[in-house]
Structure 1
Amino acid sequence: MSGSELFERFMALHTRDGGVVMPNAWDGLSALMLADAGFEAIGTSSLAFAATLGRRDGRREITRDDHLEHARLFARLTELPVNGDFEDGYGDTLDDVAATVEAAVDAGLAGIGIEDTSGDPAHPIRDFDDAVARVRRAVEAAGRRIVVTGRTDNFIQGRPDLDDTIRRLMAFAEAGADVVYAPYPPDLDALVAIVTAVAPTPVNVLISPADTVLTVADLQQAGVKRVSVGPALYRHAMAALDQAVTALRAGDLATATTGLDIGRIADLLARGPH
């Protein structure tokens, strides 16, 4: 499938009634499980991927090539549209961003996220003009061959400024971003304000507003077009592992060794290409 065909396939999920629920995988088996459950697209999670390698998220401890290979695996195994959670585009310059987008297209990804983060804990959010220029350059490089999501991390970086968040998302949309995204707006009113301000550009939501977890139907009613879960499924799996480890340390082998049936694992793995 060509990049333009993949773009149209993925974008159609965002523009239809109800939009799309796009869960995030972290390894081959989790990607296959999501595909087997009937989800129509999956995303990577930069945090979950970094954790699988024993590295930190948002500190440039993951390289572009690391993440490309990771995302390419999901696309190959599932044949679903895969959206890459590619942090700030992996580089300081606009050319770096463009190179990352081109590489994502070449890797067969359907979507790519470009954040306004910097990787610098002392100055975690890029200045407005720089952030917008990076999204604009990503869109130019994409050439409608890959869906570009423009993302601001104001809320999760301790900058609870709704006006600036909306200003950034509107500018990303005006720069050509196909989808916009601000993880964890404070409440439903803030989410509705974002959706209204950037319309008709589709809005992604990470699980829900910060104050309460809504249902997918509630989010759809608010006008959300894509729901992702970031590292939530990975954290859920790690919570189960944490409980099993605690049981094992206490000598409880029965509790520690329950889990997904080996036959189920083998069946899922057999469905992937070989």
Structure 2
Amino acid sequence: MSAADGAARFRALHHGRTPEDPLVLPGPWDAASARVFAAAGFPALATPSAGVAASLGYADGATPADEMFAAVARIARAVDVPVSADVEDGYGLAPEELVERLLDAGAVGCNLEDSADGVLKDPAEHAEWLAAVREAAGDRLFLNARIDTFLRGVDDPGAAVGRAAAYVAAGADCVYPIAAPVAVLPLLRAGIQGPVNVLARPGEGPSPAELGGLGATRITFGPGLQRAAERVVREQAAALST
């Protein structure tokens, strides 16, 4: 399957969905977890940068680019479903190199953040950069533009909607207002054109179907599933050591 075909397959999963049936994308942190999620019947997967970082022994945001791309490649090779990769803020790579490294790793899409070192980027400048990534990728990658306003303490939904409009105009296929309060999801849905990614916490809060009813097109979990697995291992280790 060509890169364009893989991206088209992944892109199609985001459209024509009913509100109670959002696209649920588990976040594998290694090849073994990816195989578990694929075997469970999920149609696609989305790696979490923090979960991958933990699996490699790094703090969130501290994974070297080479190791992140290598981890994504191992995950993509392990399964037959499309894999989108969280590559943080792009690691300072030029758009052309970023795109080629994602494609070489077997990814069909990516998350790209609009903050760095805890500070929001200028939305116009970030939109210009996203447009350059889109130009380099053509139709070979699905671009999920993460919006960090709520994460960085900007609680006005209008700020997120404004950034979303700029990013969609730049060529983003989906926007991801991470950490948006559940109460503002209908406002975001009303103001945003195209698919909206919402963060869910495994075992907490509204179900994926409920989040879909509030406006989510797709659901991801960040490092939540990796941390849940780590808790199970910790409990098993404690039981074995007593």
Residue of structure 2 in register with 1:202 after alignment: 195
Residue of structure 2 in register with 1:56 after alignment: 59
Contact 2:45–2:81 under 8 Å retained in 1: yes
- State the SS of the aligned residue for 2:148: coil
Contact 1:87–1:117 under 8 Å retained in 2: no
Residue of structure 2 in register with 1:31 after alignment: 34
Residue of structure 2 in register with 1:235 after alignment: 227
Determine the C-alpha separation between the residues in 1 that align with 2:104 and 2:226: 27
Residue of structure 2 in register with 1:147 after alignment: 142
Determine the C-alpha separation between the residues in 1 that align with 2:47 and 2:32: 13
After TM superposition, the structure 1 = structure 2 runs for residues 71-90 of structure 1, keeping only pairs within 5 Å, are: 71-90=72-91
C-alpha deviation, 1:102, in angstroms: 2.3
Contact 1:25–1:234 under 8 Å retained in 2: yes
- State the SS of the aligned residue for 2:143: strand
Q: Deviations over 1:107-159 (max 9, x none)?
A: 321111111121x24xx221222222222222111101110011111222333
Q: Which runs of 5+ in 2 are unaligned?
A: none
Determine the C-alpha separation between the residues in 2 that align with 1:108 and 1:240: 30
Q: Which has the higher contact order (CA 8 A, sep 6+)?
A: 2
State percent identity of aligned pairs: 35
Range 39-48 or range 238-247, more displaced? 238-247
Determine the C-alpha separation between the residues in 2 that align with 1:133 and 1:57: 26
Contact 1:101–1:112 under 8 Å retained in 2: no
Match of 2:212 among 207, 220, 236: 220
Q: Deviations over 1:209-256 (max 9, x none)?
A: xxx71112112222321111111111111111222333344x2xxxxx
Residue of structure 2 in register with 1:262 after alignment: none
Contact 1:82–1:111 under 8 Å retained in 2: yes
Q: Which amino acid aligns with 1:90?
A: Y
Determine the C-alpha separation between the residues in 1 that align with 2:69 and 2:39: 23
Using structure 1 for the length normalisation, give the TM-score.
0.81
C-alpha deviation, 1:7, in angstroms: 1.4
Contact 1:90–1:97 under 8 Å retained in 2: no
Contact 1:64–1:100 under 8 Å retained in 2: no
After TM superposition, the structure 1 = structure 2 runs for residues 82-231 of structure 1, keeping only pairs within 5 Å, are: 82-91=83-92, 96-118=94-116, 120-121=117-118, 124-188=119-183, 190-199=184-193, 201-207=194-200, 213-231=205-223
Determine the C-alpha separation between the residues in 2 that align with 1:103 and 1:128: 25
Residue of structure 2 in register with 1:22 after alignment: 25
Determine the C-alpha separation between the residues in 1 that align with 2:76 and 2:127: 29
Determine the C-alpha separation between the residues in 2 that align with 1:157 and 1:248: 41
Determine the C-alpha separation between the residues in 1 that align with 2:212 and 2:221: 15
Range 212-221 or range 76-85, more displaced? 212-221
Q: Which amino acid aligns with 1:227?
A: I
Q: 1:98 to 1:115 in 2, by over 3 A?
A: farther
Matched residue count:
237
Using structure 2 for the length normalisation, give the TM-score.
0.91
Contact 2:176–2:196 under 8 Å retained in 1: yes
Q: Which amino acid aligns with 2:37?
A: L
- State the SS of the aligned residue for 1:25: coil
Residue of structure 1 in register with 2:48 after alignment: 45
Determine the C-alpha separation between the residues in 2 that align with 1:141 and 1:112: 13
C-alpha deviation, 1:19, in angstroms: 4.0
